[in-house]
Structure 1
Amino acid sequence: MATLSEEEKEYALEAFGSLPTSTIDEALGNFHKAEELNPGHIDNLLPLAKCYIAKGNNLEAQKHLVSVLEITPIDEMGKAQIAETQQLLTAITKFSVQTK
């Protein structure tokens, strides 16, 4: 929940009646399970990468981001996710270079 935008929190509040409580580690576990069940899906890989970024594990995040970029988007949402992935990859790459 800590990483949700205000808009996402409002949507969750509207959809569920309250904000769910969850940790990044719980989210990681859930997305890893989703990836086991439906491997190589952008809706699993991108959130996995975001979780790893939130935990400060940019190397693991980078692996998932690169996997996302290997996916051919089939709709506008997919194209937006690819664009977000490229931005995240650029950001963590710059951060990694600056911290060396």
Structure 2
Amino acid sequence: MLYAILCGYVSEFEGLQNKINCGHLFKEHLDKAIQLLPEEPLLYYLKGRYCYTVSKLSWIEKKMAATLFGEIPSSTVHEALHNFLKAEELQPGYSVSNYMFVAKCYVDLEESQDAWKFCNLALLLPIVTKEDKNSHKEVKKIICSLKR
């Protein structure tokens, strides 16, 4: 599990080729970690983040990944949502970030009532970490976009 998390963090500071390589390793180790610890909400949150990120890859990023690994990474917003909701199922109120990503998924799927619901839930959680603070700001942006 720790190796998967480290791959994810390192990829944030790398160029495209290394980011793709780290993402591939991240997914591989994350899947193994889920097999070993199927009741750990953090793993589903991380898998949701992976799926969401992959679903948003540009054409050039997908082509580069295919060149490096022989296959195009694929995932959908639905898969991301499934993983975020699994984290929530395992530990209700898991994190502000998890709620924010659930809301983003629902916005992408044009299900605004569900997006509103999870934005409101996110705002009810305390802000403890820097990630919580950033996610809280992002939730407020999502709410503004939903009001239009």
Q: Into which bin does the TM-score normalised by the smaller protein fall?
A: 0.7 to 0.9
Q: 1:21 to 1:83 in 2, by over 3 A?
A: same
- Residues of 1 paired with 2:131 and 2:125: CA distance? 13
- Residues of 2 paired with 1:70 and 1:20: CA distance? 35
Q: Which structure's relative contact order is higher, taking Cα pairs within 8 Å and 6+ residues apart?
A: 1
- Greater Rg by CA: 2
1:46 and 2:100 correspond: yes
More helix by share: 2
* Paired residue total: 88
> Partner residue of 1:69?
123
- The amino acid of 2:23's aligned partner reads F
Contact 2:97 2:131 in 1 (8 A): no
Cα drift, residue 12 of structure 1: 4.8
> Partner residue of 1:15?
22
| Superposition pairs of residues 19-98 of structure 1, within 5 angstroms | 20-40=73-93, 41-94=95-148
Q: 1:30 to 1:66 in 2, by over 3 A?
A: same
Q: 1:13 to 1:37 in 2, by over 3 A?
A: same
More divergent stretch after superposition (25-34 vs 59-68): 25-34
Taking structure 2 as the reference length, what is the TM-score of the superposition?
0.52
Identical amino acids, percent of aligned pairs:
30
Cα drift, residue 92 of structure 1: 0.7
- Residues of 2 paired with 1:35 and 1:12: CA distance? 28
- Residues of 1 paired with 2:111 and 2:137: CA distance? 21
Q: Deviations over 1:42-99 (max 9, x none)?
A: 23211111000001111110000000001111122211111110111011112xxxxx
Taking structure 1 as the reference length, what is the TM-score of the superposition?
0.75
Q: 1:27 to 1:71 in 2, by over 3 A?
A: same
| Structure 2: tracts of 5 or more residues without a match | 1-11, 25-64, 66-71
